Structure 1
Amino acid sequence: MNFAEKLLHLRKREGLSQEDLAAHLEVSRQAVSRWEMGTALPDAPNLLRISKRFGVTVDFLLNDSEPEPPDAAEDQISRYTKQKQQAAVLLLVGMQSLACLCGLIGRFIQSELMVWIGLTLNLVGVIAFEAGFLAYFGTRAVQDSRGLFYRISVWFFAYSPVHMAVTALWRLYPRPHLAFLEWGSALTVYLLICVFTSVRLTAPSPKKDEKESPPVNHAEG
């Protein structure tokens, strides 16, 4: 296998598009396309980035006598990539838990500012997941990790907006009522949303037929 074939193989194995890889390497999609067509080679810094991204050596990439990585090596690389994805998910979930803590503290001390800080951190965590995973790990990683991230995050994220919405609705109620009713109804709605979301995201989604993805054209990458 030459460099072009190896790069194409590694990219497809990771589920990355040419745009995904180009964004990670900070080059144009056309550059990746030329590399995979064999009409150009990346410079030394990009070779190093490619080797680190896919967990292979530069020597493997450039040495045409080196065959395709054995299955054991591929499994090890795949496990390493999944470990990085799981670590990133846990880090972002940690941000969501911090956001939840800010919201709870804000409600305890009756500080709207703390509540809004918590909601902002929640939003930042979601954006970081969607944008960060797409840029670094690619489209497939986002799809594979999205269920895990949102199943956990919904328990941290949902309470503050649910409580705010339910409280606003109770304020429209014309008669006096117990504060317990506000708290109880908010908790009930929160639990229903969390359980429904968790069950929904846990249910296996039908896999797309591989035929839906058109075969790779070397002229286009």
Structure 2
Amino acid sequence: MIIRSGRSGLRSATVMAAVAALVIAGAVTGVVRTTLAEAAAGAMLAATGVEDEGANCAVSLPGSVPATSRLPDPFKKIDGSRITDKSQWTCRREEIKRLAEQYVYGPKPAKPGSVSGTVSSSRITVNVSDQGRSASFSATVQLPGGSGPFPAVVVLGGLGADTSTILGAGVAIINYDPLAVGKEGTARNNKQGAFYTIYGSGSSTGLLAAWSWGSAGSSTSSSSPAAAS
């Protein structure tokens, strides 16, 4: 779960970032290779079972999409036909994902070559390497009283959340700074932050996708024994 930030630049983007997380989540997984961390990664990808499971689906994107005042039918394929069986959903989901990447978020990068990290009761650090480039980012952790493991919420930007109520309910807080992963206010050809250090300052992947990529790594790590103790 992503809590709305108090930063003006993030307020209007929170819902979109949450949607992006659903579309793109799983870009960074397996930071801590323990049974609990693997279970957390599995929970993150429960909607699809595996990351990028629709990669082999043949998807032909249209050059443009028609304007409409109504929500589109999620079961209507790009070619106009409708899916009629649950087994067809994988490829229909891939169509929706690629449309979102094409017209809203920019492309989701493939699984990075290497992901490692450290987790303590107060901080999560994620290290990512891919094709000769590396970057790190971190999130702070606040634990409630009592013995773990604890459920956790991700606070986007570190501000605006009722932390006392969350902690009082026995829920941990992961304070994730998305601007360390993708900085606002930079030129399109000079994007900055951990994501763009790896994938290039001119990457066509937008901030919402980059923030979700980082959020996936931060939340996966939170279920390690160190964070639960």
Q: Scaled by the length of structure 2, what TM-score is found?
A: 0.22
Larger CA Rg, structure 1 vs 2: 1
Q: Scaled by the length of structure 1, what TM-score is found?
A: 0.23
Structure number with the bigger relative contact order (C-alpha 8 A, sep ≥ 6) is 2
